[in-house]
Amino acid sequence: MASIQTSLRVLVIEDETASRLAIVRALRESQHTAFEAADGVAGLEIAKTEPLDAVVLDLMLPRMDGIRLLTELRRTSRVPVIVVSARRTEDDRVEALDLGADDYLTKPFTVRELLARLRAVVRRTEADTASAITLGDIVIDFSAKTVCRNATRIPLTATEFEMLTALARHRGEVVPRDVLERAIRQDGSAHVSNVVDVIILRLRRKLGRELIATRRGQGFIIELQDGRG
Ligand code: CA
């Protein structure tokens, strides 16, 4: 398969040697530049000194665990981080995501899946810095916080806009329900159990039924558009 992806600079922080080497080898075979660290202190040092496109971070690490490393890193850096861990509870996933991880992969995973996730977080980060996203005939302007179709403004509530933003920035990926809930729950207040469904329904009414697809049991997705966007 031909790749138009530019070469990425990726740091792999993982103390299990076989696993780390497998990831590093796969990255290099895909023409990426791989840096590696076998403990948290060494990993944080590299993360702070090398310009990176992404970090693959194990949670259970000697010298400094992944959660603490992520907390430290986020004080100064927005580099995309994919947490990989054998810890598979929802609490672990939510904690890592709340601390600023961009994705979470439960071990065991295939290197192929990790590479796909890496491309996705890097693409998303590029979209994060974009001031607007075009989805077919809909333009979402993040700085003006407006949504237009064919240059006609479509009024959205703040909550609707936040959820649309979360879906649009992750377009081409299924966004889990809990991620959407956190995107619209700004103050930690108790949430209504079907709030996500209610807002999805309102967005479909305003923007068209076909924009947001439901993946039952997984979440919601804005499919990548052909051609543009
Ligand atoms: Ca480990």
Over residues 61-118, the pLDDT tens digits come to: 999 999 999 999 998 888 999 999 887 677 777 888 888 899 999 888 899 999 999 9
What is the CA(38)–ligand 1 centre distance, in A? 9
Residue 155's CB is within 10 A of a number of other CB atoms, namely 9
Tokens standing for 13?
Answer: 């922080």
Å from CA of 77 to ligand 1 middle? 23
How many angstroms separate the first and last alpha carbons of the chain?
Answer: 22
- 179 and 173 in contact (C-beta within 8 Å)? no
Contact 222, 168 (CB under 8 A): yes
CA 85 – ligand 1 centroid, Å: 7
| 80 vs 228, higher pLDDT | 80
Please say if the pLDDT value at position 228 is more than 60: no
pLDDT attached to residue 37:
98
Residue carrying the six token digits 């690490």: 61
Token pair in block for residue 147: 């949504």
SS3 221: strand
Output the CA 59–ligand 1 centroid distance in Å: 6
Considering the entire predicted model, what is its pTM? 0.60
Ligand 1 geometric centre to CA of 219 (Å): 29
CB–CB of 11/52 below 8 Å? Answer: yes
Percentage of the chain beyond pLDDT 90 is 52
Is CATH 3.20.20.80 what the domain over 132-221 is classified as, yes or no? no
Which has the minimum average pLDDT: 42-46, 94-98, 125-129, 203-207? Answer: 125-129
112: helix, strand or coil: helix
pLDDT band for position 3 (50/70/90)? very low
Q: What is the SS3 string spanning 69-138?
A: HHHHHHCCCCCCEEEEECCCCHHHHHHHHHCCCCEEEECCCCHHHHHHHHHHHHHHHHHHHCCEEEECCE
Q: What was the pLDDT predicted at 189?
A: 53
Q: Could you tell me the residue ranges of all domains in the chain?
A: 9-128, 132-221
Q: Measure 66 CA to ligand 1 centroid, in angstroms.
A: 9
Residue 193 phi/psi, 5° resolution? -65, -30
Average pLDDT, the chain: 86
CA dihedral (219, 220, 226, 228) positive or negative: negative
For residue 157, the 8-state DSSP code is -
Q: How far is the CA of 175 from the centre of ligand 1 (A)?
A: 27
CA-wise closest residue to 111 among 80, 84, 81: 84
Instruction: For 21-44, write each residue's pLDDT tens digit.
Output: 999 999 999 999 999 999 999 999
How far away, in angstroms, is 119 Cα from ligand 1 center?
A: 23
Q: How far is the CA of 94 from the centre of ligand 1 (A)?
A: 19
Give residue 70 CA to ligand 1 midpoint distance, Å.
15
Q: What's the rounded Cα separation, in Å, for the pair 9 and 121?
A: 13
Question: Is the model more confident about 226 or about 191?
Answer: 191
pLDDT band at 190 (very low <50, low <70, confident <90, very high): low
Ligand 1 centroid from CA 99, angstroms? 19
Q: Are 160 and 143 in contact (CB under 8 A)?
A: no
9-128: CATH topology = Rossmann fold (3.40.50)
Distance (Å) from CA 122 to ligand 1 centroid: 24
Instruction: Give me the mean pLDDT over the 107-136 stretch.
Output: 84
* Residue 113 CA to ligand 1 centre (angstroms): 19
